[in-house]
Chain A
Amino acid sequence: MKTIISIFLAGSLLLLGSCSESGPTTEDATTNKVIKLWVAPDESQEAFWKIVVERWNKSGLGTPVELKTIPAVESSEKAILTALVADNAPDISTNIFSGFSTQLASLGQLQDLSVMDGYQELVSVRHMETIMQGWDQDGKKYVFPLYSNPTLIWWRRDILQRLGIIKIPETYDDVYALSEQYAASDNKYGMQIMTGKIWYDRWFDFISFYYAASNGAPYVKDGKALYKNEAGLAVLTFMETIYKNGWTALDFESDDPLTTGLVVGGVRGPWSISFFERMYPDTLKKIIVGPMITKHKGDGKTFTLADSKGLVIFKNSKVKEEAFAFISWVFSNDEISLLWLEKTSLPPARGDLMDNVIFKNFYNTHPIARQYASYVNVAVPSAFTENTIDVQKTMGFEMVDPVKFGTKSPEAALADAVRRTDKILRAEH
């Protein structure tokens, strides 16, 4: 059996290998080495990396870098995985979220960055000690976080003014009141509650609301679902009330409802800033940003989700040290952090974002980006679990969708979702 399997495995690798690309184009002639870097398929991030790689290659400080956008036909994860199996993986890849890093680490594909030369200096220069604790995986640091995107709520200031609302909504009651008022007008709704239909959309609805309601308590930890509590119930009851009263549409797939004025508010991340700057600059001028809403306004800032992604170095890379030297050069340079901010508007993952003088000028002229930066310290990353997709699909199937369609009470939905999630997590561990 083993022989047959080996033959097939060898055959597969041969086939995949033959499909892989030919040699690098910018290989260093003398050392014959090159660092292959894959970056997120995102216009603004690509623009940033293009400039940085060009500067590095011109500087002659180390091994040249070959830049490529992740060839993501369906998803970055699939593209990276396929490349790893085909032995055609890059040395560094960005766009890695917590769940995927957990999977790759369990498959033994990631390099522990904390053992690399210069790691402590890099973390220290960016004041990332606390941030890195959030990315700890069994004492190892496989991911170097690049940005931390808090989710906040965008409100149409002009509509709030028209409705006579001066204060930015912060509680469920505030939203009920404005929804009742605005939905009374022709074919309008109060707030966009659900951001989409895919499993990852749960980050931007239920999980964001849950973090706000629970002061950042984990929803999955140590192989158990933990959201069957007062906070979880409060969020689902809020969703139920909004749907029952028709204060939100079943979906908003046609156009962004903030641009059409169909809703007064909706959850958005900082990535929407550059998108709106390009596509809807007039709407962007009418936007004010507020915190995630909760049942009762508490003291201090409201917690929220950090949609955080980082970069990894793959274990099979033959230029790990050189790759880390490149990373150190990029991320220990404050000017490059500023360039990142200017190109992407995404808050760089660093602890001195609001204190460092170099970012002050930028934030003084970019009030929406400043709002996001001010929430980085209360933004919690998504759960580190290999079963991200099942955990979040279950949230949709057992809980959020039934509450939306009124087929389950919030209590029953919560109990069902937690039961099924626990069962899945038990089966996999």
Chain B
Amino acid sequence: MKIGNINIVEIKESQIGAALAISFLLFNVIFWAYPFLWLVILSVTEWRFFDVPTFSGLKNFFAVLYDPEFWRSLWNVIRFLGYYVPIVLACSLGFAFGLQHIGRGKVFIALSFLVAHISSGVAYSLVFEKIFSSTGPLNTFLADWFGFTIPWLSSPNMAMLSISLVVTWKFVGYYGLILYSGLVAIPQEIYDAAKLDNTKLLTKLFKVTLPMINAQLVMVLVFAITVAFGIFTEPYMITGGGPMESTNMPLLVIYETAFNRLQPSRAALMAIIIAVVSYLVIKIMRKLLEKNVELV
């Protein structure tokens, strides 16, 4: 419908588009841009919840720079990734391959694995804390049948592995489905061609399958890295950041700095550093691993 040179339908569509875009922008302004700017202001001020923030220059920067607990928590992220990435990738790939070969009940199995993802972090952390205890059911079983126990949560070397196993349990279904979507999109012809060339199983995996699901693998890795920097409930509930701060993660340090030490300005700077470091890690990972896969 046209009035003069104006198309009514076009106006309506553009208005709807603008309205939708504005609601998204508004959401981001309130829940992302505003808190982030507040964070930036806090990071260069001295504020203790009740007074007016006063500019403090680099005071918070030096306080964080010389805070060994904070830097240890960043090192713990690397340690966590060292355990978590190989375990969760192997398990998720196994899950995705398994799902590919299931005939009936595929949806049920996929949903069963997703239950872990939507479970309450506090609830399952309490369960795993008991399972992994020195005197818990897992160690009682090991002691009864094999005559040894494993200090799952009480050894500084083992505790991070145990936390990684719990987080793997949570995400394996979610990541597995992402990888599965990549696997089912690989054309069968490629595998047929590989078969004609007598390609071995491992060669097929590393030369065909994994390169073909590069986009999904990178996506899973991005998620894994963000999980590593943002993990809170599991170490808070299961190990409390110990033993010997071996599972003390950045969010725990930020939380304690803000709410126990009552230093929100310092915690704000820590949050900004974590955001920048996690962004850089993701950027480097993508630079190293992301490939543009095209079927010609």
Contact = CB atoms under 8 A, between A and B. Distances in A.
Given A5-B41, A84-B49, A77 B259 contact: yes
Interface residues of B, number: 39
A416 to B, nearest CB: 12
Given A77-B260, A390-B261, A254 B156 contact: no
A249 interface: yes
B155 A253 contact: no
Interface stretch (A58-66, A206-214, A265-273, A395-403): A395-403
Interface string A189-208: 00000001111000000000
B45 A5 contact: yes
Interface in A33-80: 74-75, 77-78
Contact of A402 (B55, B236, B244, B256): B244
B133 A109 contact: no
A251 B154 contact: yes
Contacts of A260: 135
A387 B262 CA distance: 10
Contact of A81 (B34, B49, B69, B136): B49
Which of B37, B48, B256, B260 counts the most chain A CB atoms within 10 A?
B260
A166 interface: no
Given A107-B48, A401-B244, A187 B143 contact: yes
Nearest to B136: A254
B145 interface: no
Contacts of A6: 52
Given A5-B45, A84-B50, A109-B50, A197 B130 contact: no
B166 to A, nearest CB: 14
A74 B251 CA distance: 14
Q: Which of B136, B239, B259 has the most CB atoms of chain A within a 10 A radius of its CB?
A: B259
A255 interface: yes
Contact of B134 (A199, A249, A402): A249
A253 B129 contact: yes
Interface string A255-281: 101001010000000000000000000
Contacts of A109: 50
Interface in A95-125: 103, 107-109
Contacts of A107: 48-50, 262
A1 B42 CA distance: 12
Contacts of A405: 155-156, 243-244
Given A250-B134, A252-B135, A401-B242, A85 B49 contact: yes
Given A78-B259, A401-B243, A252 B133 contact: yes
Contacts of B243: 197, 401, 404-405
A4 B262 contact: no
Contacts of A1: 55
Interface stretch (A7-15, A357-365, A366-374, A375-383): A7-15
B262 to A, nearest CB: 6
B245 interface: yes
A412 interface: no
A254 B244 contact: no
Interface in B204-258: 236, 239-240, 242-245, 255-256
Contacts of B37: 8
A199 B255 CA distance: 14
Contacts of A253: 129-130, 132-136, 153
Contacts of A404: 243
A251 B133 contact: yes
B52 A9 contact: yes
A185 to B, nearest CB: 14
A6 B52 CA distance: 8
A177 interface: no
Interface of A: 1-2, 4-6, 8-9, 11-12, 74-75, 77-78, 81, 84-85, 103, 107-109, 187, 196-199, 249-255, 257, 260, 262, 386-387, 389-390, 393, 396-397, 401-402, 404-405
Interface of B: 34, 37-38, 41, 45, 48-50, 52-53, 55, 69, 129-130, 132-137, 143, 151, 153-156, 236, 239-240, 242-245, 255-256, 259-262
**Top-8 shortest CB links A-B:** A250-B154, A254-B133, A254-B136, A253-B133, A197-B240, A198-B240, A249-B134, A389-B260
16 contacts: A1-B55, A4-B41, A5-B45, A12-B38, A74-B255, A103-B262, A107-B49, A108-B50, A196-B240, A251-B133, A253-B134, A254-B130, A393-B69, A396-B242, A401-B156, A404-B243
